[in-house]
Structure 1
Amino acid sequence: MRLHRIIPAAALVSSMILLGGCSTITNLIGGDQAVRDADTGQVTESGKADAFTIKVGDCFNDQSGEQISDVPAVPCTDPHDNEVYYDLTMPAGDYPGDSAVTDAAEKGCGDAFSTFVGVPYEESTLEFSYLFPTKDSWEGADDRLISCIVYDRSGKVTGSLAGAAR
């Protein structure tokens, strides 16, 4: 499983699940797998996407929990919470520890932020976070990938945040 530090709306999702029951869960994360265009690889129909298969350009919505195995992927043309804007791979070897992984994520995602968004992070109204390997996924699935995520704290966006310059 991959650990992530996103989910600014986790409390909202939890309350919706309590209020809406199982149908809300299906609507939030989709009962089916996301469909991708065969040529471009872009998500064309909403559904679950394995956390190990999301890639730069994918958009998805928040879900609760610290360890996730899949995300509710949506076409970026639909309202969404998050967009993957950069991937970096940790070097092979023994698991370096949580601090080393999150330090690499902070630096790598921070460095790539201004190139993607168009303004330095310190001047932006947007935020970033990341999906990163846990010790278990590092050792059990050879997971070294850190996926950088951009999001707007004020709510869902429609379209890509590439070049948003805000």
Structure 2
Amino acid sequence: MTAGVLKAFAAGALLTVLAGCTSAPAPVPSPSPTVSSSTSALAKLGPGDCLGALDDGSFDLAKVASTSCTGPHHWEVSEVVPLTGEDYPGAIDLKQQADADCGTAFADYVGAEPGYSRYLPSYLVPDETAWSDPSSRRAVCLAGSATEELRASIKGDTQLFARIGECTQSNGAATAPKVVPCTRPHEYEAYAEKQWTGKAAPTKAESEKLYTEVCVKEFTKFVGIDVGRSRYEIAAFVAPADAWDKIADHRLVCTVGTAGGTLTGSVKGSKE
């Protein structure tokens, strides 16, 4: 197999695909109007609190409670934004306020803008019944994932590309691959990385040098055979120059696998 190519993602393409889910995120569905006064989670949650899954559209705000950020969770509260007014402004108005405020809160909390992070922003806002309690007139901004179970706080987690030991599946030709469990079918597995400490993106020559010194060298150690004789290829990822200031993840990440493949488990030590 060939040694693969160094892949850099175009900022526009990356933003287009990922921002479809993040830059104007659909909020976590508002609960049915059965919340009694002073029981809404909106009055109790604060920045740094963590929550479980809220993506089935049928949860009750009165039953939403924080959980440990060091254990399984899906969402973290990035900020709480006060909402003003005596009369209920309506779902559309609240959505517009939350879209603007929570996008900024997400960037401050995670360290990367929506669309340039492996996580998504969302929010909780009051329905008309919850609005009757002044203490619930708040937008609770969230950062996390509706599908991936988190095991530690994501505050300050700027990494976009896969971490060593994580496996990926294509997420579009010009976007960062989606991280999936290695026990599920996947295309590539991350096995090496190196932080680029330069103030600007590496040049083509610097990228190629990194690729050889890190990806090619570590491939032999990881798989147990050199890449020229392996059935697998290398796909390496680094943020491109035109998105360097947007993408906070400045690592070169080396992955091994086959495009369109259906690997299951790790190829470590396979000697294939």
- If the TM-score is normalised by the length of the shorter chain, which range does it land in? 0.5 to 0.7
Deviation per CA, 1:76-95: give whole Å up to 9, x if none: 11121111111101113211
CA contact (8 A) 1:6 1:62 kept: no
CA contact (8 A) 2:77 2:142 kept: yes
User: Structure 1 136/72 Cα, relative in aligned 2: closer, same or farther at 3 Å?
Assistant: closer
Moved beyond 2 Å, runs of 4+: 4-7
Whole-Å Cα distance in 2 between the matches of residues 85 and 135 of structure 1? 24
1:131 aligns with 2:153: no
Deviation per CA, 1:132-164: give whole Å up to 9, x if none: 11111112x122111011113551112211110
Letter in structure 2 aligned against 1:74: T
User: Structure 1 66/102 Cα, relative in aligned 2: closer, same or farther at 3 Å?
Assistant: farther
Percent identical across equivalent pairs? 26
User: Structure 1 112/91 Cα, relative in aligned 2: closer, same or farther at 3 Å?
Assistant: same
Whole-Å Cα distance in 2 between the matches of residues 58 and 144 of structure 1? 18
CA contact (8 A) 1:84 1:148 kept: yes
Letter in structure 2 aligned against 1:60: L
Q: RMSD over aligned Cα, in angstroms?
A: 2.2
1:60 aligns with 2:51: yes
Deviation per CA, 1:53-85: give whole Å up to 9, x if none: 121111111154154212243211112111111
Whole-Å Cα distance in 1 between the matches of residues 49 and 40 of structure 2? 12
TM-score normalised by length of structure 1: 0.65
1:165 aligns with 2:158: yes
Listed as ranges, the gaps of 5+ residues in structure 2 are 1-25, 30-38, 160-272
User: Structure 1 85/137 Cα, relative in aligned 2: closer, same or farther at 3 Å?
Assistant: same
Listed as ranges, the gaps of 5+ residues in structure 1 are 8-48
Count of residues in correspondence between the two structures: 121
TM-score normalised by length of structure 2: 0.41
